[in-house]
Amino acid sequence: MSEQDILEAAGIEVSFPVGSSLAARLRHQQHLLHAVDGVDLSVRRGEALALVGESGSGKSTLARAIAGIQRANHGQIKLDGKVLPARRRSRADQRRIQMVFQDPYSSLNPRLTVGGILRELLRVHHVVPRDEVESHTRELLRLVGLPEDALQALPRQFSGGQRQRVAIARAIALRPELLVADEPVSALDVSVQATILNLLQELQGELGLTLLFISHNLAVVRHLCDRVAVMYMGRIIEVAQTEELFRNPRHPYTAGLLAAIPRMTARDEEEAPAVRGDPPSPLRLPTGCRFRTRCPIAQPICAERDPALASGDMDPEHSAACHFAWTVQAANAPEAV
Amino acid sequence: MSAVSADPAPAPAPVPPPAVTRVRARRARWYRQPTLMTGLVLLAVIVFMCYGASLLTSFNPDTQNLEQPLLGLGQAGHLLGTDQEGRDTWARLLYGGQVDLRVAFIAVILPFILGTILGSLAGYFGGWADTVIMRIIDIVVAFPFFVLVIALVFVLGTGEKSIYIAITAIGWVSYARITRGEITVAKRQEYVLAAQSGGLSSLRIIGRHLLPNVVTQSIVYAMSDIVQDIIAIVTLSYLGLGIQPPTPDWGTMISAGQNFLTTQWQLTTIPGIAVVITGLALSLIGDGLADLLRTGGS
Amino acid sequence: MSGSLQLEVSDLRVQIAGHQGVVRPIDGVSLEIAPGEAVGLVGESGSGKSMTLKSILGLLPPDAKVTSGSVVFDGTDLTRLSHSRLNKIRGRRIAMIFQEPMSALNPVMRVGNQIAEGPRVHLGMSRAQSVERAMDLMRRVGIPEPERRFRAFPHEFSGGMRQRVMIAMALSCDPELILCDEPTTALDVTIQDQILRLLAQLCHESGTSLMFVTHDLPVVAQVCHKVAVMYAGRIVERGTVSEVFSQPLHPYTLDLLRSAPDIDHPGQSLVPIPGSPPSLTNPPSGCRFHPRCQFAEDDCKVSDPPLRLLEGGRATACLHYERCLDQIGADS
C-alpha cells in the first residue's frame, strides 16, 4: 500500500442469501448471491475515483461496504493504514467516510428540518463546540449554495437538486476524508445534474476531499473523475486513469460498454450491438471468465480459467482481467474516442 | 450574462425554497374534513358534559334515596329519573361517563406504548428478538379478544387496575404488528442508512428518525381500538367483573337496569345510547384521520 | 411537401383541474410526423412530453381533458373520436411502448398470449394463427427459443427481454405509428444499445413511423431523424437532429446541451440552467423561459412567442434566436 492511499480494500466479498438453500440445490443454483465477489481496490488521497458498472455489477454494494453500512462477509478495509473492524466501526472512524445516496426523495428524513438534520450530527459527534454549532450549519449551507432560511425548511419544500445539496451538506458536516457518492445525479433532471457535479468538484478542491463516485453514466465519469474502475458481476475487470480507459480499453466488456453509449452524432446503423445477449444469472455464473458468454473474442481458455486483474508492461496503472488484455489489440476496441 | 466557454461556471446560484405557505395550506385542510370535524365536535361535547358534570347537575351519583326509587323521567327534579336505589340517573350517566372515558383512554395508551416499543425493536433489529416477539403475538392473537380479557380479569380480580393489566397484556399485539411492519419497510429508506452512517445510536434512530414517521398508522388504529376498549370495559362491568359499584359506570348501569326494562326503560337504554354515541364519535375521528393521512396531510 | 402526413398535432391544449388551480400540462403543442419518419420529443420532467404521447391515444388521466387543438391521424381527428372508434385504432394502427416493462405487462398472463392478443382481437386471426404470428414476432425481436419462452411469465424475463416483448406486442398488428415513452430509460447501457438498434432497424424495414419521447439527448440522436424540444407544455424548437443539436435556435436547447456532459468532449465545463421549471398553474408572463434565459430582453417578458417556422423546416419559439447563433460562433 502506498503512502498516498487513503483507503485500501482487499478481498472484499458480500453475499446475500436468496430463497431457501434446499430449493436452490434442487435447481442446481447457488443460494448465495455474491454481489461483490473478491474485490481489491485502493483509493488515493485527493483523487476522484469512479466505480462504473451496469445493474448487477455490485458497485453500490461495494460502495456501501466501504462506507460501513453494509457488512462484508470477507475481506479487509484499511483506512489510512488502520484496519477497520468488520462489524461496528467506532464513531470516529465512521466520521471519516460519509455517503451521499441516489434518491433525493428518500435520503432525507421528511420530518426533520434541514437545520435539525445538520445540528443533530454536529452535536452527536461534537464536531465543533456547542456555541459554534449554529454558525457551522450556516457555513455548511453556504458551501453547498443554499440560502440561510433553508435551515427552517422541511425537505418536501425543496426540489430534487436542492435536496441533493442538503444531502451533500449532511455528508460533509462531519468533515469526512472520503466521500462516497452513489449515483448522486441519476435521479435528477439533466440541467440540474450540472449543479451537483460542479458542486462536488468544487468541494473536492475546497475541502481536500477524496471522492469515490459510483455511476453507470460514463459521460459524467469522464467529465469528473481521475481514475475509473469498471465492475462486472461482482468483480473489478478493469482499472485505469480516465483518459487511458476511454482511449485504450483493454477488456472486451469495457470496450463494448464504451461502444454502446449513445453519442450526439448518429452511429452507423449497420453495426451489430456492442455487447450481445443478456447478463447471466448471478446465481448461475459461467465457469472461468464470467463475461465469456457475451464476449466477442472468447476462446476455450476463457471457460477454463478465470482471469485475474493484471497490468501490462507499458502502464502499471492500467490493469484488466482478461487473458487477452495485453496480448492482442483488443478486438472490439472502438477507434479512439 | 457573459459568454460561455472560457470561464468555469460560477458557484451555483442559490435558489430559495418555495414559500412556507405551502406547508400551512396543507395543515389547514383538516378543518375541512367533515368526518373528522363531526367526530371531534361530538367527542368534545361528550367530554365536556361528563367532566362538567358538576355544572350540569346538582345531584350526587352515589347518594341513595331509598324513598324515591325508580322515578320516571322528569319526576321530582330528576331529569332522567332514579334507579332502584334512588340515585339520580342523569348524574350517574355523567359521572359514569367520566370513569368510562378515563379508563378507556388509559386502556388504549398503555398497549399503544408497550406495543409500539416491542414492535419497533422487533422490526428494527430483526433476528431472534423479532422471532420471539412475533411468536408471542401469534399465541395471543389465536385467542378471541373478549375471551382472553374476561379470563384475565377473572383471574386478576375485579376493579380498574385489573382492566388495565388485562387489556394491556392483550391489546399491545396489534400495535406491535403495525409498528413492526412499518419499521421493517422504513428502515430500508436511505435517510435511515444515512443516520446509521452518521454514527447515530440505534435507539436514537428508532426514537427520533423512524417512529415519528411511522406512528401515524398506530394512531389511526388507536381510534378504533378505543371504541373496542370502551365496549370491553362496559361489557366487563356488565358482567360484574369490571368497575365495581358504587362507582357509577355505564356498564353497571345497563346491567342493573335491564330488570326494569318494561317499566323504567331509560335506566338501561340511555347508558347504552351513550356508549353508542361515544363509539360513533371516536369512529368518525378515526375515519377522518385515516382519510387525512391517506391524502397526505400532516 | 405532400399532404400525406401520418400524424399532425395542431395547437393541442390539455387541462387538469388540480388542488391549486387549473394545470395546463400541454399548452399549445404542434407536431408533424411523415410516414416512415422517426421524430424525437425531448424535454425534462414536467415538460409535458409523456402527456403529449398519451393524449394522442386518449390515455389521459380521468380529470384531464383536451380543451382545444387537434390530433389528425390519416385524416381523422383522434380527439373527437368516440371511445369505440378510438379503440379500433389503438393497438392496430397506432401502438405504444412504455417505460417500465414490468408494470406494462400483465404479470399473470403468459408472454406469448399477450403478444398474440392483438392479432386475435384486431386482425381477427384464429388462435393458431395468432400463436404463430407471436412466435414469429418473438424471433424478429431477438427473443431466443420462442417456442419455450412463449409460455413464460413476464417476471421470468430480464428487463431487456421484457422490453423486447413490448416491442413485439407493439408490432403485432403492423401499426403505422409507434409511440415510445422513454422505452430505454430503465435499461442498462448495453441493453439500451441493443433495443435502440432493434427499434431503428424494425422501423426502417417496415416503414413504421416512430414518435420517441425521452429526456436523454444522445438517445434521440441514435434513433430519430427529427426532434422537437419541449418546455413547460410547449414546443420551443423543431428541426432535424443534426441541425438542432449542432445549431440550436432556442436558448433552452442551447442551455440543455451545455449542461450535460458530452462524452466526446470531456473537457467542457458544465453550465447548469439557473432557476427551476415554471409552475404550470401560473406560468410566467410572456415567454415561459424568460426568467431563466441568458438572452432575455424586455419584450420577452411581455409577449408570448409562438412557434415560428423558419426556412428549411426548422421552427423556434424564440424572439431573439439569432443570439443563439452568435453564441455558438463564440463557442467553436
**pLDDT for C9-44, tens place per residue?**
999 999 998 777 888 899 989 999 999 999 999 998
Query: Is residue C78 one of the residues assigned to a domain?
Result: yes
Question: Given pLDDT bands bounded at 50, 70 and 90, which one contains residue C167?
Answer: very high
Query: Is residue C282 one of the residues assigned to a domain?
Result: no
Q: Give the angle subtended at the CA of A294 by the CAs of A292 and A296, to the nearest 5°.
A: 85
**Residue A70 sits at the chain B interface (C-beta within 8 Å):** no
**Residue A138 sits at the chain B interface (C-beta within 8 Å):** no
Q: What is the pLDDT of residues C197-245, one digit of tens each?
A: 999 888 888 899 999 999 999 999 989 999 999 999 999 999 999 999 9
**Residue A193 sits at the chain C interface (C-beta within 8 Å):** yes
Which chains does chain A touch, 3 or more C-beta pairs < 8 A? B, C
CATH superfamily of B34-52+88-296: MetI-like (1.10.3720.10)
If DSSP codes are grouped into helix, strand and coil, which group holds residue B243? Answer: coil
Query: Is residue C86 one of the residues assigned to a domain?
Result: yes
Fill in the DSSP letter of residue C81. S
The answer to whether the CB atoms of A69 and B197 lie below 8 A apart is: yes
The answer to whether the CB atoms of A125 and B199 lie below 8 A apart is: yes
The answer to whether the CB atoms of B193 and A69 lie below 8 A apart is: yes
- As for the ipTM of the complex, it is 0.86
Query: Is residue C104 one of the residues assigned to a domain?
Result: no
Fill in the DSSP letter of residue B88. B
Of A39-43, A148-152, B73-77, highest mean pLDDT? A39-43
Query: Is residue C318 one of the residues assigned to a domain?
Result: no
Mean pLDDT across chain A: 89
Chain C residues whose CB is inside 8 A of the A54 CB are 188-191
Nearest Cβ partner of A223 from C200, C221, C266? C266
Query: Is residue C286 one of the residues assigned to a domain?
Result: no
Query: Is residue C308 one of the residues assigned to a domain?
Result: no
Nearest Cβ partner of B194 from A107, A110, A159? A107
For residue B22, the model assigns a pLDDT of 42
CA of C284 vs chain B CAs: smallest distance (Å)? 16
The answer to whether the CB atoms of B16 and A149 lie below 8 A apart is: yes
Say if residue B33's pLDDT is above 50.
yes
* Count of structural domains, chain C: 1
Q: Which residue has the higher pLDDT, C18 or B27?
A: C18
pTM of the prediction?
A: 0.81
Phi, psi of C230 (to 5 degrees): -110, 140
**Residue B4 sits at the chain C interface (C-beta within 8 Å):** yes
Query: Is residue C327 one of the residues assigned to a domain?
Result: no
B285 vs B294: CA distance, rounded Å:
14
For residue B61, the model assigns a pLDDT of 79
The answer to whether the CB atoms of C262 and A220 lie below 8 A apart is: no
Question: Given pLDDT bands bounded at 50, 70 and 90, which one contains residue A3?
Answer: low
The answer to whether the CB atoms of B3 and C275 lie below 8 A apart is: no
Chain C residues whose CB is inside 8 A of the B3 CB are 327, 330-331
Domain at C84, CATH number: 3.40.50.300
B18 to chain C: closest CA residue:
C276
Phi, psi of A39 (to 5 degrees): -125, 130
For residue A269, the model assigns a pLDDT of 64
Q: How do beta strands C177-181 and C209-214 pair?
A: parallel
Nearest Cβ partner of C269 from B1, B9, B15? B9
**CB < 8 Å & 24+ apart, contacts of C86-93:** C86/C57, C86/C58, C88/C122, C89/C57, C90/C57, C90/C58, C91/C118, C91/C121, C91/C122, C91/C173, C91/C175, C92/C118, C92/C122, C92/C123, C92/C173, C92/C175, C93/C173, C93/C175, C93/C176, C93/C177
Question: Domain residues for C21?
Answer: 2-93+173-245
Give the number of A-B residue pairs with CB atoms closer than 8 Å: 90
CA of B5 vs chain C CAs: smallest distance (Å)? 6
CA of A266 vs chain C CAs: smallest distance (Å)? 5
The answer to whether the CB atoms of A67 and B197 lie below 8 A apart is: yes
Question: Given pLDDT bands bounded at 50, 70 and 90, which one contains residue A196?
Answer: very high
Which chains does chain B touch, 3 or more C-beta pairs < 8 A? A, C
* Range B289-297 average pLDDT: 68
CA of C327 vs chain B CAs: smallest distance (Å)? 7
